[in-house]
Amino acid sequence: MIELNSIVTSSDDVQLPKLSENESHCIILESQDWVFHTVHALASKANIAMYCNASLVRRMTEKNSSLLTSDHVQIAEWKFNRFFNVKKAISAIERTSTHSPIVFLVLDIENPSRYESLFMRNSLMKQLTSWAYNANKILIVGLFGQMESEQTQTFLADNARHFMSLNFIYQQLSDIHWKASFWLSGYTVNQWDWVVTPFENEQGSLRFKLSDIQENEALAPLLGLKAPKYVMKNALKMGEALPEGWRMMDTNEGLKESIAPGSDALIVLSLSSKEAFFELANHIFKLRKHYGAYLRIVVRSFTDAIRLQDEEALVYAGATMVLPREISFQRMLNLAKNTAGSTYSHSLPKDLSQLHIGLQNPNLKGYLAPKGFLQAVRSLTVQAQRQDTPAALVRASIATGLTKEAIVNRFTSRRTGDMITFMDDAVFIFLTGCKPSELEYTLDMSFGLPTQTIFSQQISTTQHLQILDDCDELQITENVSPSAIINIERKQVNAVAAAHSAAEKAQLSSVRKVSFL
Amino acid (1-letter code) at residue 315: V
CATH code of the domain covering residue 175: 3.40.50.300
Q: What is the mean pLDDT of the chain?
A: 77
Residue 327: count other Cβ atoms within 10 Å of its Cβ: 18
Say if residue 314 is in the same domain as residue 190: no
Give the CA-trace dihedral at 358, 363, 366, 370, to 10 degrees: -120
The verdict on 52 and 188 lying in the same domain is yes
Q: What average pLDDT does this structure show over 459-475?
A: 91
Residues 183 and 322 in one domain: no
- 332, 354, 376 — which closes off a domain? 354
Indicate if 292 and 343 belong to the same structural domain: yes
* Long-range contacts at 68-72 (CB < 8 A, ≥ 24 apart): 70/43, 72/43, 72/44, 72/46, 72/47, 72/48
Q: From CA 289, how far away is CA 350, in angstroms rounded?
A: 9
* Most confident range, picked from 88-97, 176-185, 189-198, 407-416: 88-97
| Rounded Cα–Cα distance for residues 503 and 513 (Å) | 17
Burial class, 201, CB count within 10 angstroms (exposed 0-12 / middle 13-18 / buried 19+): exposed
Q: What is the CATH number of the domain that holds 404?
A: 3.30.70
Per-residue burial over 309-323, b = 16 or more CB atoms within 10 Å of its CB, e = otherwise = bbbbbbbbbbbbbbb
Is residue 109 domain-shared with residue 37, that is, in the same domain? yes
Answer yes or no: do 380 and 261 share one domain.
Answer: no
Residues 45 and 162 in one domain: yes
Provide DSSP, 2-44.
EEGGGTSB--TT----EE-TT-EEEEEESSHHHHHHHHHHHHT
d(CA 514, CA 444): 10
Q: Give alpha helix (H) positions in 186-276.
A: 252-258
Has residue 219 been placed in a domain?
no
Q: Alpha-carbon distance 323 to 301, whole Å?
A: 6
Q: How many Å from the N-terminal Cα to the C-terminal Cα in the chain?
A: 39
What pLDDT, on a 0 to 100 scale, did the predictor assign at position 231? Answer: 92
According to the model, what pLDDT value does residue 370 have? 92
Higher pLDDT, 359 or 262: 262
Domain co-membership, 175 together with 230:
no
Q: Are residues 309 and 399 in the same domain?
A: no
H/E stretch holding 95: helix 86-96
Residue 512 placed within a domain? no
Q: Establish if 216 belongs to a structural domain.
A: no
Can you give the residue range of the structural domain that contains 104?
A: 2-211
Residue 175 and residue 45 share a domain: yes
The tens digit of pLDDT for each residue in 334-377 reads: 888 888 888 887 767 666 665 544 434 556 788 999 999 999 99
Q: How far apart are CA 295 and CA 267, in angstroms?
A: 8
pLDDT tens per residue, range 492-504? 333 334 434 443 4
- Whether 276 and 320 map to the same domain: the answer is yes
| CATH label of the domain that carries residue 314 | 3.40.50.2300
Q: Taking each helix axis from N to C terminus, what angle separates 150-159 and 122-134, rounded to the nearest 10 degrees?
A: 50
Which of 183, 211, 239 delimits the end of a domain? 211
| Position 340 in a domain | yes
Residue 350 exposed, middle or buried by CB count within 10 Å (0-12, 13-18, 19+) = exposed
Percentage with pLDDT > 90 across the chain: 12
Radius of gyration of the chain (CA): 26
Q: Is residue 341 part of a domain?
A: yes
Residue 478 lies in a domain: yes
Q: What is the pLDDT of residue 64?
A: 64
> Domain check: are 426 and 328 in the same one?
no
- Asked if residue 517 is part of any domain, the answer here is no
User: What mean pLDDT comes out for the span 16-21?
Assistant: 71
Q: Is residue 360 part of a domain?
A: no
46 pLDDT more than 70: yes
Max mean pLDDT among 50-59, 66-75, 371-380 falls in 371-380
Question: What is residue 185's predicted lDDT score, i.e. its pLDDT?
Answer: 46
Which of 83-97, 222-236, 253-267: highest mean pLDDT? Answer: 222-236
> What local confidence, expressed as pLDDT, does residue 394 receive?
94
pLDDT band at 4 (very low <50, low <70, confident <90, very high): low
Quote the pTM value: 0.46
Among residues 299, 321, 354, the one where a domain terminates is 354
DSSP run (H or E) holding 62: helix 54-63
- Dmax (CA) for the chain in angstroms is 83
> Using CA atoms, how far apart are residues 31 and 53, in angstroms rounded to an integer?
16
pLDDT above 70: residue 512: no
Q: Structural domain tally of the chain?
A: 3
pLDDT score of 327: 82
